[in-house]
Structure 1
């Protein structure tokens, strides 16, 4: 696979700074959620939708520093998720999995190596599939702020390579230093944010920018996308779109094969590589997550569990309740009741 160096000793012209988080107050923010949608909305200035794939009650924890031009966060999730994400515009996101994580993450259908760093530009959707008991450090930096910092340090960032990349191959020393610094900013125990003033936040932002430039200076961007991975990701995306377009139908694997013009074996391979799940498992999870979202709003519209189940193609209520409890750790009626309050 071709790789491209990202940083060279060439100056770039400076430009005025403007942060996408300017409308939100700087400082430390923390949140705990017991629902994947609530958790997805807790991350500032992101457009996200999460589907729960792992079985059991969900708990999501987020610790986030909002700085003038940078967002630094630690995200912990108890259950495996499919995440559809879009970072705020004119920025870059860098994702560094916690070294304690034992299972890999998939980004746009590609397995992410345990010693790599994920990256995506702002304003473009990307998909993650994260395992149970996942922990991730994230840094989102406004592009101009990174460019100005690179100019001050006499470095040039290859924006084209960075924009195309999904994975950065990073030297272990730089990655280890970055993880240690982020762990200090976002410890597992509750951070103490008292006494932080504007000058402290500016200094913190400068330190994070230096960490990112150190990573880029010792990394190569893997911009190669295998055609087979891209094709399989497209098959999975079309399957999801078809199921969501026909929510009241229990779409079968043979029906999907016919609609997508692929064999059953090809469909199986696509889902296993992109999602780490079989088509049947994923299709059921899509519908159950859709039913859960509907249940959280149903009581306000005078609807009950049976109405929602039928809306999502579950015609056997006892089996629906069994599958629902297995995935989410609670009954459909519990979700309906909680949504009413």
Structure 2
């Protein structure tokens, strides 16, 4: 058994802390970021709990050869992920998530995607899920505090967690309507197509019409997809994303390498006063302070 507890002060630092994931994090609401990750490996099963105080853009690809049972503790919803899963969404403020990553072999599944594809990335709720995530959080906190599980106990606990997660999944899936599954899947496809386009052209400013055309969707479909999957309008999301990229460029610059104006304009912020105001509102400091910080 191994346990780690990491406290972070930047969104990208939080994203880099989670073992086995391909993650991109960006800050999407104002304030000094504070995060915590508690992670334990128990007989091959990974369990982690994550806390973040500001809204965060998460883009991730789940670990390979495993099924992830991710519980949104604010919404009491279970989300299922596998190695085929890539997703973009925006967390609420003061977000808490607890998850169990179960290797394929411990599920005795030959083809995870085929077995679970109808339930991937769909919010699944049940009373069993709410009870289980509370128990799981308490159990992980105890392990992090004491680290007293031996190898035999860890193996037994890993087997129990896999069985419990499948039971919660079964109970939650029974309550899920197929119409919801199809709607969520359609909206996630729209968001994914938009993300792929803006990722290919990170310095560009796109209009809502251009984003809708990129996804082959109507303006209304684009708006509804982002409302459900991201939690903010697409143009607001894009502006926040470019502010985060500008911050990364300012932090990476060496003395005399660039100016605030050059960085702002490279990310399509043509009005420097508005850029500085938006930057200060999001990160609680002026862009010049970020650029001048001693590395």
With the shorter chain as reference, the TM-score category is 0.7 to 0.9
Report SS of the residue matched to 2:146.
coil
Gaps of 5+ in 1: 1-25, 105-113, 149-156
Match of 1:122 in 2: 83
| TM-score, structure 2 as length reference | 0.83
CA offsets 1:269-325 (integer angstroms, 9 cap, x no match): 343233221233112112112212222212278233222212111122221111012
Specify which structure has the bigger relative contact order, considering alpha-carbon pairs within 8 angstroms and separated by 6 or more residues.
Answer: 1
Match of 1:29 in 2: 4
1:183 is aligned to 2:137? yes
How many residues are aligned here?
292
Per the TM alignment, residue 121 of structure 1 is displaced from its structure 2 partner at its CA by 1.1
Is the contact between residue 165 and residue 223 of structure 1 (CA under 8 Å) also seen in structure 2? no
Match of 1:292 in 2: 247
Larger radius of gyration: 1
Per the TM alignment, residue 176 of structure 1 is displaced from its structure 2 partner at its CA by 4.3
Per the TM alignment, residue 134 of structure 1 is displaced from its structure 2 partner at its CA by 0.9
Which of the numbers 54, 74, 78 marks the counterpart of 2:29? 54
Is the contact between residue 52 and residue 82 of structure 1 (CA under 8 Å) also seen in structure 2? yes
Structure 1 segment 164-313 matched on structure 2, within 5 A: 164-166=118-120, 167=122, 169=124, 171-172=126-127, 174-187=128-141, 191-216=144-169, 218-220=171-173, 222=176, 224=178, 229-256=184-211, 264-299=219-254, 302-313=257-268
Gaps of 5+ in 2: none
RMSD: 3.2
Match of 1:146 in 2: 107
More helix by share: 2
| TM-score, structure 1 as length reference | 0.73
In structure 2, what is the Cα distance between the partners aligned to 1:158 and 1:283?
33
The range that moved more, 128-137 or 249-258, is 249-258
Per the TM alignment, residue 194 of structure 1 is displaced from its structure 2 partner at its CA by 4.3
Report SS of the residue matched to 1:186.
helix
In structure 2, what is the Cα distance between the partners aligned to 1:34 and 1:198?
33
Per the TM alignment, residue 49 of structure 1 is displaced from its structure 2 partner at its CA by 0.8
